[in-house]
Chains A and B, each alone.
Chain A
């Protein structure tokens, strides 16, 4: 077997191992527990300490490709806000975000026995194109940006929005973000321009880029990073949702990857060590 086809076979073995490592813990959960981190705790505290009856914004800035990571966050967050009797305004900077919001509201409504009333406890204002420009406009006048909600009900006829004129009347913004536009636009505009508290949940791949914003200046109050962040939030709410369950295959896959990296490094080290010896032999 030549080198190229050996590498091809090795790749397939890695893929197969990864498939098994992820599939088995999904079928047979191992009951692994997630540990909380201060980043998630801070986001949780922000929601928890906001007074009852406050109107808050959850921005669904993602689409179906990232539901595994972000939908459990949305569900946990809605549940937490409703437990604290807060009123939720759903917005979306991504076109399919409003459908994601509907799905999340439907899921949490079941837990609350369908007691939450649309227009009084929550409203879906839908998608608006424009990213940062739209958030700036929301800071001046919300009604002009969203003259109606998703079901074409005029802004002035939605009871929970009666006292809400601009973004500054919102208690906090929580952006669930899969990229651009998303959390960064909320930080730059809602927090740094209008001084509205902002927290966020992001896909794991973009989490490191947001860590510097969780700082002394509170540009971000807290941050949920990927599936782990969602599982931590579920832990704080004391229930085991899809994120907690999916951390089982996640952990097993990470162990497998660590083993594979170690094997790869040992092989590379041996190869490097053998190369000068072989060279000496060939040079006589």
Chain B
């Protein structure tokens, strides 16, 4: 059974890779199988790992003390009303609640983590460090942050002296885009390594 699984994995891996040559029936078949399988898997997973333990099991075991769960249950049913055009409007309410609560929770946390704490982390005295590398690094951090933020300040035309920090900001942004590109290449190559490792080790047994 394990051997069959490995051959199946190898077939689908090669079928997907074949798209690099050109579009073909093997690729299309693998793509459709993946989409169908994923949908089926998630449906079953959601029922058995989310709906049953968090909702139905609690309602069936102790209905009286879990009455509050009827609210999300009702909202879930309302969400499913999208299927019928006549009742589609009912799904707006659970969507509105989800959007509202998610936005509120995220806003509070992001305000602290992504704004206030990040600002605190930039307010450092660069000369408190003993190593020259740390001093230079901290100065770069402060200059980069200020110039990067200034680049997105559009209320004044950036010309003359005002253009200088903006230009410096662009350089910092370019360096960060380059770093992101480098990391992205590393991630994509890692995926290829993973697949080739599987083919060479588990399927062809070329490597131990």
Contacts and interface: CB of A to CB of B under 8 A. Distances in A.
Q: Decide whether A and B assemble into one complex.
A: yes
A227 B186 contact: yes
B187 interface: yes
A91 interface: no
A189 B109 contact: yes
Contacts of A203: 187, 190
A155 to B, nearest CB: 14
Interface string A211-230: 01101110100000111100
B45 A95 contact: yes
B124 interface: yes
Interface string A44-67: 000000000000000000000101
Interface in B1-60: 20-21, 45, 49-50, 54
Interface in A55-98: 65, 67-69, 95
Given A26-B207, A207-B183, A69 B190 contact: yes
A252 to B, nearest CB: 9
A166 B208 CA distance: 44
Contacts of B45: 95
A216 B120 contact: yes
Contact of B118 (A136, A215, A226, A257): A215
B164 interface: no
A68 B183 contact: no
B176 A208 contact: yes
A68 B197 contact: yes
A22 B193 contact: yes
Contact of A204 (B109, B117, B184): B184
Nearest to A225: B183
9 contacts: A12-B21, A26-B207, A205-B184, A208-B180, A212-B121, A219-B117, A225-B183, A227-B186, A228-B186
What are the 8 tightest A-B residue pairs by CB atom distance, in nearest-first order? A68-B194, A215-B121, A205-B187, A204-B187, A204-B186, A188-B109, A188-B113, A204-B183
